[in-house]
Amino acid sequence: MTSNGTQDQGRPKDDFAARERVRFNQWKDAGYFSRSEGRGEYAQHPFTITIPPPNITGFLHMGHALNDTIQDTCIRRARMQGYRTRWVLGTDHAGIATQTKVDKKLAEEGISRLQIGREAFIEECWKWRAQYGSTIVNQIKGMGCSVDYDDEHFTLDPDYVDAVRKLFVDWYHDGIIYRGKRIVNWCPHCTTAIADDEAEYVDEAGHLWYLRYPLTEPVDGMDHIVVATTRPETMLGDTGVAVSPSDESKKALVGKTVKLPLVDREIPIFSDYHVDASFGTGFVKVTPSHDPNDWAMGERNGLPRINVFDETAHVVEGYGRFSGMSRDEAREAIVAEFDALGLLEKVEDHPHSVMTCYRCHTKLEPWESEQWFVAVDRLKEEAARVVEDGSIRFHPARWKRVYLDWLENLKDWCISRQLWWGHRIPVFYCDECGWEDASVANIEVCPKCGKPVRQDEDVLDTWFSSQLWPFAILGWTIDGTESPELKEVYPTQVLSTARDIMGLWVARMVMASTYCTGQIPFEHVIIHPTVMGADGKPMSKSRGNGVDPLRLMEDYGADGMRFGLLMQVTGGQDLRFNESKLESSRNFANKVRNAARFVGMHLDGYEPGAPEPTTPADKWIFSRLAKLVARLDDLYAEFEFGDIARELYAFFWNEYCDWYIEFSKSRLDESADPADRLACQRNLMFVLDQAIRLLHPVMPFVTEDIYQELPFDRSQAPYLIGAAWPSASELSRFADDEAERAIDMVCEVVTGVRSTRARYGISPKEPLALAVKASEEDSRLLGAQSALISAMANASDLAISADAQKPAQAAAVLGSGIEVYVALAGLVDFDAERARLEKERAKLEKDAEKLGKKLANEGYLAKAAPEIIEKDRAKHADALDRIARIDVQLAELA
Q: From the annotation, which residues make up the binding site?
A: 541
Q: Identify the CA nearest to 538 among candidates 62, 58, 52.
A: 62
Asked if the bond preceding 396 is cis, omega within 30° of 0, the reply is: yes
Distance set, CA 452 to CA 420, 425, 428 (Å): 21, 18, 10
**Strand order, beta sheet including 436-438:** 436-438, 427-429, 454-455
Dihedral pair phi/psi, residue 200, rounded to 5°: -110, 135
The answer to whether the CB of 374 falls within 8 A of the CB of 334 is no
Distance CA 644, CA 79 (A): 18
The answer to whether the CB of 36 falls within 8 A of the CB of 83 is yes
Q: Identify the CA nearest to 128 among candidates 169, 156, 162.
A: 156
The answer to whether the CB of 268 falls within 8 A of the CB of 255 is yes
Distance CA 544, CA 550 (A): 17
Q: What stretch of H or E contains 496?
A: strand 492-498
Write out 368-391 in H/E/C secondary structure. Answer: EEEEEEECCHHHHHHHHHHHHCCC
Distance CA 480, CA 232 (A): 52
Helix, strand and coil percent figures for the chain, each rounded to 5:
50, 20, 35
The answer to whether the CB of 241 falls within 8 A of the CB of 284 is yes
Asked if the bond preceding 491 is cis, omega within 30° of 0, the reply is: yes
849: Cα separation from own chain's centroid: 35
Query: In sequence order, which ranges of 181-326 are alpha helices (DSSP H)?
Result: 292-301
Query: In sequence order, which ranges of 673-765 are alpha helices (DSSP H)?
Result: 674-695, 700-709, 728-731, 737-760
Distance CA 368, CA 308 (A): 10
Distance CA 301, CA 267 (A): 12
Query: In sequence order, which ranges of 568-651 are alpha helices (DSSP H)?
Result: 580-601, 616-637, 641-649
Query: In sequence order, which ranges of 316-460 are alpha helices (DSSP H)?
Result: 327-340, 377-388, 399-408
Task: State the amino acid at position 603 in one-letter form.
Answer: L
Distance set, CA 399 to CA 384, 497, 502, 597 (Å): 13, 12, 9, 45
**Residues in binding site for ATP:** 541
The answer to whether the CB of 822 falls within 8 A of the CB of 756 is yes
Dihedral pair phi/psi, residue 526, rounded to 5°: -95, 120
Q: Which residues, at least 6 apart from 520, have a Cβ–Cβ distance to it below 8 Å?
A: 386, 391, 392, 491, 510, 513, 514
Q: Identify the CA nearest to 287 among candidates 247, 359, 237.
A: 237
The answer to whether the CB of 525 falls within 8 A of the CB of 406 is no
Distance set, CA 69 to CA 26, 74, 172, 641, 764 (Å): 20, 9, 39, 10, 43
Distance CA 731, CA 626 (A): 5
Beta-strand relationship, 575-576 and 531-532: parallel
96: Cα separation from own chain's centroid: 24
